[in-house]
A and B are shown apart, each in its own frame.
Chain A
Amino acid sequence: MRIYAELAKTAFQSHITFRVNTLIQLFGRLIAVLIQVSIWSALISADRGMTTLEGVVTLQEMITYTLLSTAITLIVTNNMIGQVEQKIHKGEIATDLIKPISFSGLLISESVGISFQRIIFELVPVVLISSLLFGIQSASVVHLLLFLVMVINGTAIYFLISYLFALTAFWYIVSWHFGALFYMIMMVFSGSLVPVWFFPNALSTVAEWLPFRLIFYSPISVYLGKVNGMEIIWMIVQQLIWIAILLLVQKWIWSRATTKLVVQGG
C-alpha cells in the first residue's frame, strides 16, 4: 500500500510547480461561481424562495448548493480518460505494465495526489472567497460529518466510473469522445449544475436509477438538511452498493482490456 501513497505524493509534488496555471484556474472557478449565483438570484425570490417537489428552496440554500457543488467538482475531477488515451496512443502503457502495481491503483493514486493539490490551492480559496462574498449556510456537526463521508464515497464512485470510461481506449485507441459523453451525463444526472429537485418527474426517475446523483446531489441535500434519518442511511448504502458493483465491473473489463491491448509505436 505504501507505494500508492508515494505515487500520490509524487503526483501532488509534480503538480504544485505549475503556479500560473493554478492561479488562472482559481480565477476561472470564481467567475463560474459568480455566474451560477447570479442566475439563481434572478430565478429565486429572495423572500419567498421557490417551490419544488421537495418543498421550498430558499436562495441562500441554492447559493450554498452552488458552492458545495463547486467544492465537490474540485475534489472529484480527474483526467484519467485523457491520461489513458495518451498512454495507449503513444504506447507508454508498456512501461506502466512492467511495474508490479495495478494499473487502476496507479491511475487512482495519481488522481488522488492531484486532487489534494486542487483541494489546497483551489477549493480552499474558492470556498473562502465565495462564502465571504455570497454567504454559505452552516450545517449541524452530524450533517457535516455525514456530508464528508458521502463525498468520500462519491469520489470513489466518480473515480471508478471515469476509470471505466478511460479503459475504452484499449479498444478504440482514441477515447476523448467517451470522455465528453461522460462529462455531459455526469453534469446532468449528478445534479452538479441543477439540483434534482428541479427535474421533471421522468428525468428525476432516471436520475434515481443512476449512480451520478450520489456524487453531488445526495451529499449536498444531506448538508442542507433536506433528508433525514433512514433516507441518509439508504443513500450511503446505495453508494456502497454502487462502489461494489463498479469494482466488479472494472475487474471484468480490465481482464478483457488486456487481451485487446496493442502497444503503439513498437
Chain B
Amino acid sequence: MGIQVENLVKTFRRPRHREGILGALSDLVYREYDEKKAVDNISFKIEPGEVVGYLGPNGAGKSTTIKMLAGILTPTSGSIRVGGLIPHTQRIENTKRIGVLFGQRSQLWWEIPVSESFQLLKYMYKISEADFRKRLGVFEELISLSDIYHLPVRILSLGQRMRAEMCAALLHQPDVLYLDEPTIGLDAVVKENIRNFIKQTNQETGTTVVLTTHDMPDIEKLCSRVIVIDRGRVMFDGNLEMLKHRFGSQNKLIVEVEDGLPDPQRLLLNGADEVIQEGRSSIITYDRNRRNSAGFLSDLAQLHKIIDFSVNEPDIEEIIRRMYKSLNQSDVESRN
C-alpha cells in the first residue's frame, strides 16, 4: 500500500505565558497565542514495499507527521492518502490496515499478560484463530515470545516489552508499518533483533515501513530511502547513496609521524578543512572531491617520517551530523 502526502501542514496554537504574577494575571484576562508550524508544506510519495527512514533533529516534525499518517492528528491543510484512504476522516478503516509502534509508549494493556493483550487484539482486528496461531509461530521463530508470553506487561523489561510491542503492531499483518523510534533505549542485542524482525517482515509480507530514528545503524541496515526534514520542511529525499554523495564527501586522514606533530598551518594551506591533533596523531579532514590523501602524505613525507596512517570515509552518523549542521548554517545565512 502506497502513501501519498501533498502540501501537508500542521500548525499548533499554544498560549504564550507572560512572566511573573502580573503576567499570569494578564494571561487570565487576555491570552496571546503563538502559532507554531510543526509541519510546513511537506510532500512525498512512498511506494508499496519501500522502507523509508524519516529523519530529522529533535522537534523537526517527524512524530507529528507519523501521527497524521496514522490518523491520530488532523492536518491543518494539505492531503494524505494511505492506500486510497484519508487517515483522519476514515480513522477506523485506516487503522485496520496499519501497524504503529511508538518506542516511548505502550499499546499493550498494562495489567494483563501479553497473551491476553494479544487475544484482545485478535478480536479487535477480527483475526481468525488459524491466522493468529500461524503468526504467533512466525513471531516465536523471529523474535521469541514464549519467555514473556504469560507475564503481565507492567513487569517486563524495556527490551522484553518492545518485542511484545513489535508483535502487537504486526499481529494483524498490516500493509503499512509506522515505527516511531522503535529502538530507543534498547541494548545492542535487542536492537539487532528488532531490526532483523523489521527486515524479515518487509521482505516476506511486502509491508511498507516508515520509521523515525536517531540510531544510524537502523538506517543503514533497513532503509533504502531516507527523507530528512528540519523545522517542518523536507531537506532531502533520496536513497542513501545520494545522501552520502552530497553530505559524505568529507574524508578523514589520520597520520602519525615519528618526530612530534606536523605543522597544522601547512596542512590547512594545502587544502585541509580541519586539523585536529590528539596525542601523537593528527586528524586531517578534507573534501575528497577536491583533495586526496596521497597529496597530503607526499607533502608530509618531505618533512617527517610517517609511521602510520589511515583514511576513514564518513559513516552515516557523521553524514547526518554534517547535514544538520549545514541546515543550521544555511538558516543563519538566509537570516543574515
Q: Which residues of A does B touch, CB under 8 Å?
A: 2-3, 6-7, 10, 13-14, 17, 91-95, 97-102, 258-259, 261-263, 265-266
Question: How near does chain A come to B58, taking the closest CB pair, in angstroms?
Answer: 9
Residues of A within 8 A of B100 (CB): 98
- The answer to whether A6 touches B104 (Cβ under 8 A) is no
Residues of B within 8 A of A259 (CB): 74
B123 beta carbon closer than 8 Å to chain A: yes
Residues of A within 8 A of B72 (CB): 93-94, 97-98, 261, 263
- Expressed in whole angstroms, the Cα–Cα distance for A45 and B229 within the complex equals 78
- The answer to whether A100 touches B125 (Cβ under 8 A) is yes
Residues of B within 8 A of A258 (CB): 74, 88, 91
- The answer to whether A6 touches B120 (Cβ under 8 A) is yes
Given contacts A95-B106, A98-B98, contact A261 B111 (CB under 8 A): no
Kindly state the interface size class of chain B when it binds its partner. Answer: 20 to 34
B239 beta carbon closer than 8 Å to chain A: no
8 tightest Cβ-Cβ pairs between the two chains A and B = A14-B111, A95-B107, A98-B100, A3-B123, A100-B95, A259-B74, A97-B72, A100-B96
Looking at A2, A6, A97, A265, the one whose CB has the most chain B CB atoms below 10 A away is A97
B71 beta carbon closer than 8 Å to chain A: yes
B253 beta carbon closer than 8 Å to chain A: no
- Expressed in whole angstroms, the Cα–Cα distance for A160 and B55 within the complex equals 42
**Those of B88-111 within 8 Å (CB) of chain A:** 88, 91-93, 95-96, 98, 100, 102, 104-107, 109, 111
- Expressed in whole angstroms, the Cα–Cα distance for A57 and B260 within the complex equals 106
- Expressed in whole angstroms, the Cα–Cα distance for A261 and B107 within the complex equals 19
- Expressed in whole angstroms, the Cα–Cα distance for A93 and B12 within the complex equals 17
Residues of A within 8 A of B73 (CB): 261-263
- The answer to whether B104 touches A265 (Cβ under 8 A) is yes
Looking at A17, A100, A258, A263, the one whose CB has the most chain B CB atoms below 10 A away is A100
Q: Which of A7, A91, A261, A262 has a CB less than 8 Å from the CB of B120?
A: A7
- The answer to whether A95 touches B102 (Cβ under 8 A) is yes
Residues of A within 8 A of B111 (CB): 14, 17
Give 20 A-B pairs besides A14-B109, A100-B95, A100-B96 with Cβ atoms closer than 8 angstroms: A2-B123, A3-B124, A6-B120, A6-B123, A93-B72, A95-B105, A95-B106, A97-B70, A97-B72, A98-B98, A99-B95, A99-B124, A100-B92, A100-B93, A100-B124, A258-B88, A258-B91, A261-B74, A265-B104, A266-B63
Residues of A within 8 A of B91 (CB): 97, 258
Q: Which of B74, B105, B109 has a CB less than 8 Å from the CB of A94?
A: B105
Q: Sample 5 A-B pairs with CB under 8 A, ordered by A number.
A: A7-B120, A93-B72, A100-B95, A258-B91, A261-B74
- The answer to whether A92 touches B71 (Cβ under 8 A) is no
Given contacts A92-B105, A94-B67, A95-B102, contact A262 B92 (CB under 8 A): no
- Expressed in whole angstroms, the Cα–Cα distance for A101 and B107 within the complex equals 13
- The answer to whether B124 touches A94 (Cβ under 8 A) is no
Question: How near does chain A come to B181, taking the closest CB pair, in angstroms?
Answer: 9
- The answer to whether B74 touches A10 (Cβ under 8 A) is no
- Expressed in whole angstroms, the Cα–Cα distance for A259 and B93 within the complex equals 18
Question: How near does chain B come to A111, taking the closest CB pair, in angstroms?
Answer: 16
Given contacts A94-B72, A98-B95, A101-B124, contact A10 B116 (CB under 8 A): yes
In the complex, the chain B residue whose C-beta lies closest to that of A94 is B72
- The answer to whether A262 touches B106 (Cβ under 8 A) is no
Residues of A within 8 A of B67 (CB): 94, 263
- Expressed in whole angstroms, the Cα–Cα distance for A99 and B102 within the complex equals 13
Question: How near does chain B come to A173, taking the closest CB pair, in angstroms?
Answer: 11
B119 beta carbon closer than 8 Å to chain A: yes
In the complex, the chain A residue whose C-beta lies closest to that of B64 is A263
- Expressed in whole angstroms, the Cα–Cα distance for A259 and B76 within the complex equals 8
B311 beta carbon closer than 8 Å to chain A: no
Q: Mark B56-73, 1 if CB is under 8 A from A, else 0.
A: 000000010001001111
Residues of B within 8 A of A92 (CB): 105
Question: How near does chain A come to B273, taking the closest CB pair, in angstroms?
Answer: 35
In the complex, the chain B residue whose C-beta lies closest to that of A13 is B112
In the complex, the chain A residue whose C-beta lies closest to that of B152 is A14
- Expressed in whole angstroms, the Cα–Cα distance for A262 and B68 within the complex equals 11
- Expressed in whole angstroms, the Cα–Cα distance for A94 and B106 within the complex equals 10
